[in-house]
């Protein structure tokens, strides 16, 4: 298994991966929604605000994750993980967790202070994410499932309560995704 950073030469393969994986797990409509989101994320996010990571087996992309910049009122540097997909045939073999750890290590190497995500706490707790109340850090959009608002510190400092709103990148600033 080879882990590396995403670059635009992989865009088509990665968009197709998200479409196939989410169509299989959530239905075709959701597969298209996520594929459109990823396509938009790649097309509209400034390079310094987007970090993608891919897992490849025999030159085929079998997993992909994206982190995009989340502007927080404390002035710390923060990124949010979304979305995440591992090819259906090879799910539950550890690729998702290894890919997320690879990505978090890369974020740490860039001196990024905080990582957020929005998803199943039981899955993302395996890679260090913990539930965070919006009284500590607000989400950039209304959360349909506040239980899924998760964060972790990457610099060893405890996450302090922040006053003010947060801002995600344009592609993620869609209430339907939250
Ligand atoms: C969710 C997903 C990324 C996990 O990646 P993965 O490589 O299959 O997972 P891993 O092998 O790293 O981890 C497996 C563990 O996570 C658990 N797990 C897998 N998918 C899960 C999910 N959707 N919710 C909660 N737990 C999950 C498994 O039960 C397993 O637990 P165990 O090790 O205690 O048995 C992958 O299954 C996937 O792409 N699913 C469809 C798309 C999706 O739901 N993406 C996440 C939302 S953006």
From 84, 87, 94, 129, give the residue whose CB has the most ligand 1 atoms within 8 Å, as the site to mutate.
Answer: 84
Residue 171 CA to ligand 1 centre (angstroms): 24
pLDDT digits (tens, 9 = 90+) for 2-53: 999 999 999 999 999 999 999 999 999 999 999 999 999 999 999 999 999 9
Q: Can you tell me which atom of ligand 1 is nearest the CA of 97?
A: 12
- In 3D space, the residue among 1, 165, 156, 154 whose CA is nearest the CA of residue 81 turns out to be 154
Q: pLDDT band at 161, cuts 50/70/90?
A: very high
Domains of the chain with CATH codes:
2-177 (3.40.630.30)
pLDDT digits (tens, 9 = 90+) for 143-153: 999 999 999 99
pLDDT for 88: 97
Does the beta carbon of 150 lie inside 6 Å of ligand 1?
no
pLDDT for 158: 97
Does the beta carbon of 97 lie inside 6 Å of ligand 1?
yes
Q: pLDDT band at 128, cuts 50/70/90?
A: very high
pLDDT for 65: 98
């Amino acid at each position: 298994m080879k882990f590396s950073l995403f670059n635009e030469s992989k865009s088509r393969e990665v968009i197709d991966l998200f479409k196939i994986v989410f169509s299989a797990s959530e239905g075709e409509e959701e597969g298209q929604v996520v594929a459109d989101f990823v396509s938009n994320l790649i097309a509209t996010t400034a390079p310094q605000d987007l970090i993608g990571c891919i897992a490849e087996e025999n030159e085929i992309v079998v997993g992909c994750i994206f982190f995009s910049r989340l502007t927080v009122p404390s002035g710390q540097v923060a990124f949010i993980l979304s979305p995440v997909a591992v090819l259906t045939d090879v799910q539950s073999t550890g690729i998702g967790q290894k890919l997320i750890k690879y990505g978090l290590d890369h974020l740490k190497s860039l001196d990024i202070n905080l990582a957020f995500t929005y998803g199943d706490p039981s899955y993302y707790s395996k890679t260090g994410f913990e539930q965070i109340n919006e009284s500590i850090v607000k989400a950039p959009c209304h959360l349909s499932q506040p239980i899924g608002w998760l964060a972790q510190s990457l610099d060893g400092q405890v996450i302090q309560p922040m006053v003010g709103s947060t801002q995600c990148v344009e592609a993620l600033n869609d209430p339907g995704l939250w």
